[in-house]
């Protein structure tokens, strides 16, 4: 304790000069602690290591947290809820950070049994114990943890208790109550879903619960819900005729050819186009988009998720204990940590955890770290600090241009996914990475010297217009419609609700242009829909974070562009059913943008 107080006193002395701290945050310090696997945890400090895979990453592509850890800012006093397959809370590298509040939603006990290992690996990324001489460490190794095996019993009651609305957590004002909720799960709907409280009362309930806890819990400081974007960039799985099929693009005689465009959008799922969820895409050890990561305008930030831990690094984190369960089991494996090795003879850790399921807990750990730097900050202000300090990762990424033959037989090019853009408020944004990659040290530095929270959140009513504009087939002309927003707000996020008649939704690109002239893609062309709902988009909602910090007042313009006259297809595959063709016939009849609505979240 004396040594800890001495370190804290030294750390506080460093804070006397804000300029000195700013200089220090740009430096690199070795992560102390002595845990044997930490040197391979590239997401914490990337020195170009392999993470026990067959190739190395590129130094510097990490969460940038060494200054925060040097200062002892590591999540102390912040509890993170792991809503997942469960958590092995007795794991020797977790149990010291587990506090009261975990629940097995299947049997009511306080041990959220994890039969899969996914949730345990997630918990390890967030808050594995540091300095105990085993395994590695979490992003926030002094944070507290509670776990829920929600994925094993996905009822309404299970959702409510795991997301904060239980008898014990109703006020969420105790020091051990979660201020961060990690959701490393999701769905990949094959059709856009209606955002409709009448037909889906559960949607209204979840919105109300998340809004209340996000804004009003913890004596008004609120909490943050972190959500993984999904793992469906190139293909996805859905149900068809009672069986699961893999859905993939097909163009130019090539399977999986989608012209470099994402085949599934994070903006399709209602929990990803929900303002209350901070949606995260995944980057790899080279600082580029992970090969699987779903993307879209609903992505707020990007964080390390890695690849698969075989040819290139995944995450090094906790596994279920023992060599007979979890990801790491006895036997040969291309990941050098696996199989019962000298560093991990009991197979209690793994080097293959990946996905936006990893990007989310890395983000949750980052948020817990930032909150612990200044406990007085409310949750929206913490999100704001993350937005202000996010860095351009993969800075030369130019996005994706789509070349296609229009209805007149001319070859035209459409900028389907823009590269990095700077919006009118000075924030960078990319369809793949949101506002950028998390920089913990930069955000912690700002948190230390931030004394005022954001003004109160305001949410406008939906503003609607009846457009009834034709969408010409295979034409850059597209359909345009405008709505005027009267409120003078600073934008935090924008939601758009659409009604469009069109029989091949994957042909359509949907753009939104702000009053300041920023063009953003709400739904990229060639997204792999199997069909629409009621003939197209019906009350489908999309979220956009591209306009963060811009002014809401003025004219917002929606553009809908048809990019295909019938050369791009969707295939489904199941061993029993074989290959199934979808969207094989072009709709030469023009679609219709019937109506749309917009609402602003801002201050």
Residues forming the active site: 84, 118, 357
Per the listing, tokens 């792999």 go with 528
Q: How far apart (Å, rounded) are the C-alpha atoms in residues 203 and 201?
A: 5
CA 89 to chain centre: 25
Contact call for residues 119 and 319 (beta carbons, < 8 A): no
Q: What is the dihedral of CA 323, 329, 330, 335, to 10 degrees?
A: -130
| Cβ atoms < 10 Å from Cβ of 455 | 11
List all residues 6 or more positions away from 6 whose beta carbon is below 8 Å from its beta carbon. none
The pair phi, psi for residue 273, each rounded to 5°, is -100, 25
Distances (CA, A) of 469 to 46, 465, 560, 561: 51, 11, 10, 12
- The C-alpha angle with vertex 371 and arms to 367 and 377, in degrees rounded to 5, equals 125
Contact call for residues 470 and 592 (beta carbons, < 8 A): yes
Q: How far apart (Å, rounded) are the C-alpha atoms in residues 104 and 384?
A: 34
Per the listing, tokens 């503003």 go with 463
Buried b / exposed e along 230-250 (16+ C-beta atoms within 10 A): bbbbbbbebebeeeebebbbb
Please list the residues that pair with 279 across neighbouring strands.
Answer: 227, 299
Q: What is the dihedral of CA 26, 29, 40, 91, to 10 degrees?
A: -110
The pair phi, psi for residue 132, each rounded to 5°, is -100, 5
Distances (CA, A) of 374 to 195, 221, 298, 329, 370: 36, 11, 27, 41, 7
The pair phi, psi for residue 14, each rounded to 5°, is -65, -25
Q: What is the DSSP letter of 81?
A: E
Distances (CA, A) of 75 to 68, 71, 122: 10, 12, 16
């Amino acid at each position: 304790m004396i040594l800890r107080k001495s370190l804290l006193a030294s750390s506080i002395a460093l804070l006397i000069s804000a300029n000195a701290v700013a200089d220090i945050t740009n430096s690199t310090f070795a992560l102390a602690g002595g845990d044997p696997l930490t040197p391979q945890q590239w997401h914490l400090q990337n020195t170009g290591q392999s993470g026990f895979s067959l190739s190395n990453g590129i130094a510097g592509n990490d969460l940038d947290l060494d200054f925060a850890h040097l200062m002892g800012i590591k999540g102390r006093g912040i509890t993170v809820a792991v809503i997942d397959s469960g958590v092995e809370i007795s794991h020797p590298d977790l149990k010291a950070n587990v506090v009261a509040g975990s629940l097995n939603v299947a049997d009511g006990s306080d041990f959220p049994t994890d039969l899969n290992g996914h949730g345990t690996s997630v918990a390890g990324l967030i808050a594995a114990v540091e300095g105990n001489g085993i395994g590695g460490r979490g992003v926030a190794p002094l944070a507290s943890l509670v776990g829920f095996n929600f994925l094993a019993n996905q009822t309404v009651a299970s959702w409510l208790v795991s997301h904060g609305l239980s008898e014990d957590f109703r006020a969420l004002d105790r020091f051990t109550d979660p201020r961060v909720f990690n959701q490393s799960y999701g769905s990949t709907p094959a059709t856009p879903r209606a955002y409709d409280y009448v037909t889906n009362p559960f949607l209204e309930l979840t919105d109300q619960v998340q809004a209340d806890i996000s804004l009003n819990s913890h004596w008004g400081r609120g909490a943050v819900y972190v959500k993984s974007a999904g793992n469906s960039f190139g293909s996805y799985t859905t149900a068809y005729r009672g069986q699961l099929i893999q859905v993939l693009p097909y163009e130019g005689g090539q399977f999986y050819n989608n012209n470099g465009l994402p085949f599934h959008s994070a903006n399709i799922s209602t929990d990803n186009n929900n303002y209350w969820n901070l949606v995260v895409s995944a980057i790899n050890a080279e600082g580029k988009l992970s090969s699987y990561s779903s993307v879209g305008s609903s992505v707020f930030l990007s964080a390390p998720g890695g690849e698969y831990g075989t040819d290139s690094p995944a995450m090094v984190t906790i596994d279920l204990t023992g060599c007979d369960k979890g990801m790491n089991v006895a036997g040969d494996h291309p990941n050098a940590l696996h199989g019962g090795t000298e560093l991990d003879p009991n197979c209690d850790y793994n080097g293959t955890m990946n996905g936006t399921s990893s990007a989310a807990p890395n983000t949750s750990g980052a948020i817990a770290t930032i909150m612990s730097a200044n406990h007085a900050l409310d949750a929206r202000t913490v999100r704001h600090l993350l937005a202000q300090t996010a860095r351009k990762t993969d800075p030369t990424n130019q996005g994706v241009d789509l070349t296609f033959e229009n209805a007149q037989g001319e070859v035209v090019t459409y900028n389907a996914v823009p590269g990095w853009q700077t919006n009118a408020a000075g924030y960078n944004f990319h369809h793949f990475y949101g506002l950028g990659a998390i920089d913990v040290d930069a955000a912690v530095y700002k948190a230390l010297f931030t004394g005022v929270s954001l003004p109160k959140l305001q949410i406008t009513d939906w503003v609607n217009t009846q457009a009834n504009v034709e969408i010409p087939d295979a034409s850059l002309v597209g359909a345009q419609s405008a709505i005027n927003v009267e409120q003078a707000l600073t934008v935090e996020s924008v939601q758009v609700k659409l009604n469009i008649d069109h029989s091949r939704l994957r042909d359509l690109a949907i753009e939104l242009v702000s009053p300041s002239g920023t063009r953003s893609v709400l739904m990229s062309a060639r997204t792999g829909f199997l069909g629409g709902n009621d003939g197209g988009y019906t009350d489908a909602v999309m979220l956009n974070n591209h306009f963060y910090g811009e002014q809401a007042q003025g004219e917002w313009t929606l553009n809908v562009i048809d990019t295909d006259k019938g050369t791009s297809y969707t295939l489904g595959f199941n061993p029993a059913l074989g290959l199934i063709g979808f969207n094989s016939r072009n709709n030469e009849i023009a679609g219709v943008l019937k109506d749309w609505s917009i609402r602003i979240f801002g201050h």
